[in-house]
């Protein structure tokens, strides 16, 4: 399960920030928002593939977290708890939208793929042609992921981006370990098919 970011010396710990937030200190909560907004937004964005919706859902996750804070017992890391809330908020949204990316490709969903000023691709000092190829590959990968069904996209994001173990994924979704493995396998096969041309030349 994703854990909290490393705490710099002198930085107030998550535990203290959570305690202050639970006492109604909105400034402490604001600090937590600042600390984790980038990771929560990345997760919602990867699952939704739409900047505006991902922004709203990330915000909704923080609001839900604020509401649920009185019940947070600190038996898990704050970020793990927050991540679960954000995941549920996002997946509920996906379920409501009933996006079936296995079918037709929805251009609108990838139209605003890259947020203004967002670091969707890592900074690179590579030569311009290499950087361009890298950017094109990144775009192709994001498009391919956008075409996956929500279930397949979900396991790919949880495994490849968040680095969750199978057991953690199965607990979060929730589903059996076998389902996690099957979804991961077929999601990767679909990505492979979609990226076949890129694959043979670049990968």
In total, the chain counts a number of residues equal to 203
Does residue 152 bind another protein (CB under 8 A)?
Answer: no
Residue of the chain from 4, 28, 46, 50 that contacts another protein (CB under 8 A): 46
Residues 4-33 that bind another protein (CB under 8 A): 26, 29-30, 33
Q: 159, 156, 143: which is closest to 194 by C-alpha?
A: 143
- Distance (Å) of CA 138 to CA 104, 131, 141, 159, 166: 21, 10, 5, 18, 25
Task: Tell me if 42 contacts another protein by CB under 8 A.
Answer: yes
Nearest Cα neighbor of 118 from 44, 169, 42 is 42
Considering the rule CB under 8 A, would residue 123 count as an interface residue with another protein? no
Helix axes 14-22 and 78-97, enclosed angle (nearest 10): 70
171 makes contact with another protein (CB under 8 A): no
∠ CA 195-201-203 to the nearest 5 degrees? 65
When binding is defined by CB under 8 A, the residue of 15, 23, 68, 118 that contacts another protein is 118
Of 9, 10, 103, 117, the one binding another protein by CB under 8 A? 117
Please name the residues in contact with 188: beta carbons below 8 A apart, sequence gap of 6 or more. 156
The residue (of 118 and 132) whose beta carbon lies closer to another protein is 118
> In the structure, how many helices (H) and strands (E) does the chain have?
10, 0
- What residues from 184 to 203 belong to the interface with another protein (CB under 8 A)? 184-185, 188, 191-192, 195, 199, 203
CB of 92 to another protein, least distance (A): 18
Q: Which is nearer to another protein, 34 or 75 (by Cβ)?
A: 34
What stretch of H or E contains 203?
none
Respond yes or no on whether the N-terminal peptide bond of residue 174 is cis (omega within 30° of 0).
yes
Per CB under 8 A, residues contacting another protein are 26, 29-30, 33-34, 37-39, 41-42, 45-46, 51, 55, 58-59, 62-63, 66-67, 115-122, 137-138, 141-142, 145, 156-157, 159-163, 165-166, 178, 181-182, 184-185, 188, 191-192, 195, 199, 203
């Amino acid at each position: 399960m994703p854990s909290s970011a490393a705490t710099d010396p002198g930085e107030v710990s998550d535990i203290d920030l959570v305690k202050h937030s639970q006492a109604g200190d909105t400034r402490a909560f604001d600090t937590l928002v600042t600390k984790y907004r980038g990771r929560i937004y990345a997760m919602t964005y990867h699952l939704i593939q739409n900047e505006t919706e991902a922004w709203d859902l990330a915000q909704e996750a923080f609001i839900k977290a604020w509401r649920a804070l009185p019940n947070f017992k600190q038996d898990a890391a704050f970020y793990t708890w927050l991540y679960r809330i954000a995941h549920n908020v996002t997946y509920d949204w996906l379920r409501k939208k009933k996006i079936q990316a296995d079918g037709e490709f929805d251009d609108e969903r990838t139209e605003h793929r890259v947020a203004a000023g967002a670091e969707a691709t890592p900074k690179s000092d590579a030569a311009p042609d290499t950087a361009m190829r890298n950017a094109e590959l990144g775009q192709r990968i994001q498009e391919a992921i956008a075409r996956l069904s929500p279930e397949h996209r979900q396991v790919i994001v949880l495994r490849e981006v968040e680095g969750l173990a199978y057991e953690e994924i199965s607990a979060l979704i929730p589903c059996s370990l076998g389902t996690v493995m099957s979804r991961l396998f077929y999601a990767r096969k679909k990505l492979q098919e979609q990226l076949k041309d890129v694959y043979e030349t670049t990968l």
